[in-house]
Every structure is written in C-alpha cells, then in structure tokens.
Amino acid sequence: MSADGFRAVVFDLDGTLLDSYEGIRAALNPVLVHFGKEPVTVDQVRFMVGEGLPRLIEKAIGPEMVEEGVRLFRERYRETALSGSALFHDAEEVMTELGQRGIPMSIASNKPALFSRQILESLGIASRFVFVGGPDIGFAPKPDPGMALAALAAMRTTAQETLFVGDMPIDLQTARAVGMRCALIPTGSSLREELEAARPEYFVDSLASLLPLFAGGSAVESRA
C-alpha cells in the first residue's frame, strides 16, 4: 500500500459483494430431491458454498455423482441466479466511490465466471470490473493464486498496492499466496470468530468501512 492508500482491489463475489444464497438454494434443492436428499435452507447453503461448484455438490450429495449433480445444478441455476441474487446494501455505494477515485476493481470467485458475469450484467455493474475470474475459464479454485495473479495483470497493479476483500479464510489464503493484504468481512460463509481467528490484516463489519483504506480516503490503521 502506498502512503495514501491501496490503488486497486480484488473482490470475492458471493458473501462479499453479493447475497446470492437464495439463488443457489433454489438451484440446489431440486438436485438434492433428485438424489433422494432432504432440501436445505438458505442458512445451510450459506455455510456450504465458497469452494467451487463441484465441492458444493460433493457436500450436498456425496462424491459418487458429482458430475451429474453439477450438470443438474447448472441447468437450474441459469433460471435462479438472477432472481436470487442481490448486492449487499452498501456495495453500490462502495463501487461507485472507488470508481470515482479511479480504483480498478476485479473479481476472483470460485463461482463459475459464466454465472458471475450474468449476474453482474443483470445488476448493471459488469463494466465496473477489469477482470472476472472463475474456475470454469481455466483457473484452479481459490486458494490457488492464479485468479488473483490474473487480476493483478489485468489491472496493471502490484500485489503490494492491491487489497483483496473476501468473506472466508480461503480468501485470506489466496491473498497471502500472492503477497496481497486482505480484508475480511463477516457477511458471508464464515462466522465472525473464524474470520478473526484467521488474523487478516483488516477486519471490517461493512464494505463502506473499507473506503478509508484506498487512495483518496483517510488512512486507517492496519491490524497486522
């Protein structure tokens, strides 16, 4: 980070910028019923996601029929992704402010990039992001550093001047693999206690609390 703050940002998507759990639940439950499993609630889904679609299906139905489960989920999620996804209340404010400051933004998510782009386009914010990564376009899932490195290259920034923002320890692991500092927010798939125990450089309760960390804002203290 330069003396006047970070100059770029890589966001996780689900649980960080986006509340997408209802859309995932609506696509997952028909898969569960198909395989004779009990449907799940939104709260249960919240703690199942974050490691990629194959891992979600493995958790839901077991490892034997993951390929078929992924296929069925994808078919259904095309219908539920848009109606079941919404920005967190301060995400628009934060993205607008960062854009006005000239801060480039990227997405590194374990959600398939196809779905991420569809959702971002439906919300009218796809053009805000220089790069949208996902495991369906040739990247290994986080915490592999590939997506984050690609984001840095696309934004033409360095790890030292870029902040990684996520909602799970896997995001912190990804950031550390690249040499980036990380802010975690308890709005997604991990409990506050788990995130605090991971000891990120920054722990915030809201996206808006991140704004002073970036160039053009007032500097705040790191927890590291």
pTM higher than 0.85: yes
pLDDT of the chain, 224 residues: tens digit per residue: 766 799 999 999 999 999 999 999 999 999 999 999 999 999 999 999 989 999 999 999 999 999 999 999 999 999 999 999 999 989 999 999 999 999 999 999 999 999 999 999 999 999 999 999 999 999 999 999 999 999 999 999 999 999 999 999 999 999 999 999 999 999 998 999 999 999 999 999 999 999 999 998 643 333 43
**3-state SS assignment for residue 108:** strand
User: Do 170 and 193 meet the contact criterion of CB atoms below 8 Å apart?
Assistant: no
**Which residue in the block uniquely carries the two structure tokens 């995400």?**
91
| Helix locations, 83-190, DSSP H | 91-100, 113-122, 146-155, 169-178
* Six-digit token string for 185: 């927010």
CA separation (Å) from 212 to 4, 17, 49, 94, 120? Answer: 10, 18, 30, 11, 25
The pLDDT value given to residue 60: 94
* Set 12, 14, 19, 167: catalytic member: 12
Q: Which of 109, 111, 200 is nearest to 147 (CA)?
A: 109
* Six-digit token string for 60: 């839901």
User: Do 212 and 193 meet the contact criterion of CB atoms below 8 Å apart?
Assistant: no
The pLDDT value given to residue 13: 97
The pLDDT value given to residue 3: 63
For the structural domain made of 8-19+86-213, what CATH number should be given?
3.40.50.1000
CA–CA dist 22, 45 (Å, integer):
8
In the annotation, is 43 catalytic?
A: no
Domain boundaries, the chain: 8-19+86-213, 21-80
